Homo-oligomer: A and B are copies of this chain.
Amino acid sequence: MVKVKVGILGATGMVGQRFVQLLADHPWFEISALAASGRSVGKTYSDACHWVLLTRMPKSVAEMEVQECKPGLDCRLVFSALPGDVAGPIEEDFAAAGYIVCSNASAHRLNPRVPLLIPEVNPDHLALIETQRRRYGWPGFIVTSPNCSSTQLVMALKPLQEAFGLARVLVVTLQATSGAGYPGVASLDILDNVIPHIGGEEEKLESEPLKLLGRLEGGEIKGAELTISAQCNRVAVRDGHLECISVELRRKAELGEVITALEGFRGLPQELGLPSAPRRPILIRREEDRPQPLLDRYAEKGMAVVVGRVRRCPVLDYKLLVLGHNTIRGAAGGAVLNAELLKAQGYLD
């Protein structure tokens, strides 16, 4: 099979590096273009990039020249790891120029014509692509992946919504420092400390899941009728967000049913056997002190979420913990899975 040429926008940042890492040996995709901001343009990737991942920079990209973030890149699809404040118009330019854009940026997530996609959760939302193209007259299109905290929350909520309905969700997060990119969180701010605020995060966590769990009706997404309250904290952990969740179900359920619903959850990526799909999207741990970021963040290569301590909540119905790898499943890996779904569904033909 000839591999699809892909480019990475914002390739030198932390999420950009994860894209490089995940795509370096991808069976379907081949990195043919790296793009970043002005001060990197013209340099080799290894010169432009302060590589911060624990595996080595793949040799195949080290000598590639970093290009400008504008159409003209030699590829069919671009992954966008651009910062939220510049991503919007750049991604539109690429879609207008015929590229397929798989974006990890927030700019278009809540745009009603742009799919906000988790392949296990709402693959049918890809139907928005048609509306999007018609509306904007683009030969290409944009598909977005959610905020890291939303992704893992929604993956855990989806089977509960399907089985019992969801009324209310309270979530408190303990988020890793890699979520802020590099250099990101200063060591003086986090060593022996917790920072109980992450700009914009609670708003995302209270809104994105409603779209993700929404229903497609007449070519539009009708948001889920669900209320979410979020409190977000930064803790001294390198990778892996932990979420403490309480849920109120619409239909009462036994503990066993809840666990069965979570554990049995499978989606289209599992059915299609997409290359980056975890065998099981949700792993259940039964120990009283799991999941833990250090021990569970690389479950299924960082593509599964790990759920633990499912138990009754005296205030709402159930409490549980959800852990996910924020820069893999919650960012680059999620977007790569989106692209794999697009390919499997014929959008790249």
Contact = CB atoms under 8 A, between A and B. Distances in A.
Interface of A: 52, 54, 168-170, 172, 174, 177-178, 182-197, 206, 227-229, 231, 233, 235-238, 242, 244, 246, 288-295, 298, 308-309, 313-316, 319, 321
Given A177-B187, A188-B238, A196 B52 contact: no
A242 B188 contact: no
Contacts of A183: 183, 186, 188-189
A195 B235 CA distance: 12
A313 B206 CA distance: 11
A122 to B, nearest CB: 22
Contact of A315 (B170, B185, B291): B170
Contact of A188 (B184, B233, B244): B184
Copies of this chain: 4
Most buried by B among A168, A235, A291: A235
A200 to B, nearest CB: 11
B235 A196 contact: no
Contacts of A229: 246, 313-316, 319
Given A177-B188, A186-B184, A231-B172, A289 B195 contact: yes
Contacts of A186: 182-187
Contacts of A52: 188-189
A202 to B, nearest CB: 9
B242 A196 contact: yes
A289 B186 CA distance: 15
B191 A238 contact: yes
Contacts of A244: 172, 196, 231, 233
A193 B293 contact: yes
Given A172-B172, A229-B315, A314-B228, A188 B194 contact: no
Nearest to A168: B315
Nearest to A177: B187
B314 A206 contact: yes
A229 B172 CA distance: 13
Contacts of A290: 196
A239 B248 CA distance: 34
5 contacts: A172-B231, A177-B188, A191-B192, A191-B238, A196-B289
A295 B196 contact: no
Contacts of A227: 314-315
Contact of A192 (B182, B237, B291): B237
A64 to B, nearest CB: 20
B235 A236 contact: yes
A168 B231 CA distance: 17
A194 B293 contact: yes
A42 to B, nearest CB: 22
